[in-house]
Amino acid sequence: MSEPSVDEILGPGGPFEIVERNIRGVPLPTFRNAPWHLRELFQGALEHAAETFYVYEDERYTFAEAWRTAERVMAGLHTLGVRPGDRVGIAMRNYPEWVMAFMGITSMGGIAVAMNAWWTGEEMVYGIDDSGLNTIFVDRERLEALSPYLDSKNLNVISVRTQHAAGRGVRSWESFIRSGNGVMHVPEIDPDDAATILYTSGSTSHPKGVVSSHRAIIHSLMGWEAAAAIARAEVGRRQRPPERQPCMILTVPLFHVTGLNGQLLPSFRNGRKVVGMFKWDAEKALALIERERVTHFSGVPTMAYELVNSPNYEQYDLSSLRSIGGGGAAMTPEHSSRIAKRTENQARASAAYAMTETNGLTASNAGVHLQAKPKSCGRPLRPLVSVRVVDTDGNELGTNETGEICIKGPMNFTGYWNRPADTAKTIVDGWIHTGDIGHIDEEGFIFITDREKDMIIRGGENIGCQEVEAVIYDHPKVTECAVFGLPDERLGEVVAAVVRAAPGAILTGGDIQSHVGDRLARFKVPTHIWVTRDELPRTASGKIFKKGIREEALGRLS
């Protein structure tokens, strides 16, 4: 039997039959047979009910066990008074409870607020207040960070994996799971109802809540599947039946779109096993790949590079690996070349381009194309994604012309939570204005060459320069500052700052690092700091000349 053609894949009766639907006033391609909402996605995985779904350390959960616990989460939330449309937070490591809490929240029509587990207590309070949630799942570390604020908050706090479930409104996971009283009414969920809020940094002084619908998330997952089927059809390659249960190692936090949409949720489509890690460690990952017969590895490019660069790489049986890739940040040509050489004839190396706002689906560059064009993030993923480059007036540019990259498709987010002005600026006629500057070549490959947004991408984590600057300006001995990114071989970029001290003040870089570290997550603390007593250079319009300051800093480092 020959491989089906692209028309057969996407046409009537095909596995990825496309129909046009009007979504928020914009006609978009959608999959006719997509699950209606996330609850249907989770229940569909019960086709693999007895298969292992989630592995954490020595714990193992089947798809059936995960769904039963998710049902108890639904009942427990209903008992607490949570109703469809209410926001419910999750702030913890990639424990099994994270997964089951997420399943329960979204299955009852709640909106899961996936909070950055690296945030300080102050940042957590910002996320709680901004989203308006009154129920949150936390682990021991997040409970400790939040504890000083509990007396002033009317919160339901469910604590996971801690014996210290004391404090106002705090109860243990175990007691919460037992609290559901009777059978709850399972509400109807519309595909365009909000399902998640993921916080992302950008050009504002605080992270923005990215709201995504059930439809957008599900189309992100299926978009990757359809693109893979199209790629096979175009070269006449049939999909090999898996020799064993597919398995993905979860390398990044679940509050990150890569971890949630790229690694966890696709497993409900194909019965894939997911192996969670307490935290990233290349040696631990190698051992888990061997032990669990992991078939797919994906993380930020730094992780893939550290994995293949391990001095113990050859000591492990990694023959199960079929793909190894990275997303969330640019992969340097040196990294992609090293990964390809180390995994030659075994695992397919790949890189991807996407945003939280596109639910992890935009473009991919893999295999021979990655080696031929290592500086490209690939072509738009068919059949859902459209990409164009525009000038400052919004006019579409031609081949190899540089401008802002814009993305359209059913996987795009709905808007920023409680930020209509930011939403209107970012989404124009269904197109997301990314703030990334680049071009598309004659073969359709996307190249990102600059960034319009005042943002740093450190190891796959977005850091808004204005957010860090706002904290530095709070220091009593600071009169001016400029925060920007500097290149780093391992992390891609790191945070740097030039700070002007107040007249007569004694101020050191260590003072600034301590000040920022007390208020923001550790990854946002500047690595390089220069303290000056001179006024920072300015443009003709009076703005701080950050580009020139950055170029001077690069010269100092070199």
Report the range of poorest mean pLDDT among 149-163, 335-349, 469-483.
335-349
Domain containing 69 — which CATH number? Answer: 3.40.50.980
Q: What is the mean pLDDT of residues 99-125?
A: 96
Does 112 fall in a domain? yes
d(CA 148, CA 167): 10
Q: Which residue has the higher pLDDT, 217 or 330?
A: 217
Residue where a domain stops, chosen among 156, 189, 222: 189
- Residue 374's pLDDT is 82
Does 491 fall in a domain? yes
Does 63 fall in a domain? yes
- Residue 95's pLDDT is 98
Structural tokens at position 354:
């996407």
In terms of Cβ atoms closer than 10 Å to its own Cβ (0-12, 13-18, 19+), residue 179 is middle
Mean pLDDT of the chain: 89
Task: Give the residues across from 537 on adjacent strands.
Answer: none
d(CA 496, CA 498): 7
Q: What is the mean pLDDT of residues 299-309?
A: 78
Q: What is the mean pLDDT of residues 272-300?
A: 91
Q: What is the mean pLDDT of residues 407-412?
A: 98
- Give residue-wise pLDDT tens across range 306-335: 888 888 988 999 889 888 776 655 555 555
Q: What is the mean pLDDT of residues 341-369?
A: 79
Does 294 fall in a domain? no
Does 538 fall in a domain? yes
Residue where a domain stops, chosen among 173, 189, 205: 189
pLDDT interval class at 225 (50, 70, 90): very high
Q: What is the mean pLDDT of residues 40-44?
A: 97
pLDDT of residue 349 exceeding 70, the answer is no
With a CB cutoff of 8 Å and minimum separation 6, the contacts of 97 are 137, 139, 160, 161, 173
- Which amino acid is it at 557? L
Does 283 fall in a domain? no
d(CA 340, CA 495): 29
- Give residue-wise pLDDT tens across range 43-56: 999 999 999 999 99
Query: Strand, helix or coil at 476?
Result: coil
**Predicted model pTM:** 0.86
- Give residue-wise pLDDT tens across range 448-485: 887 777 788 888 788 888 889 889 989 999 988 999 99
Domain containing 501 — which CATH number? Answer: 3.30.300.30
pLDDT interval class at 115 (50, 70, 90): very high
Query: Strand, helix or coil at 198?
Result: strand
End-to-end CA distance of the chain: 59
Residue 552 lies in domain:
456-557
Domains identified in the chain, total number: 2
- Residue 454's pLDDT is 79
d(CA 316, CA 287): 7
Does 503 fall in a domain? yes
Residue where a domain stops, chosen among 189, 206, 239: 189
- Residue 182's pLDDT is 61
pLDDT of residue 336 exceeding 70, the answer is no
Q: Which residue has the higher pLDDT, 232 or 194?
A: 194
Does 295 fall in a domain? no
- Give residue-wise pLDDT tens across range 504-549: 899 999 999 999 999 999 999 999 999 999 988 887 666 788 888 9
Q: What is the mean pLDDT of residues 229-234?
A: 88
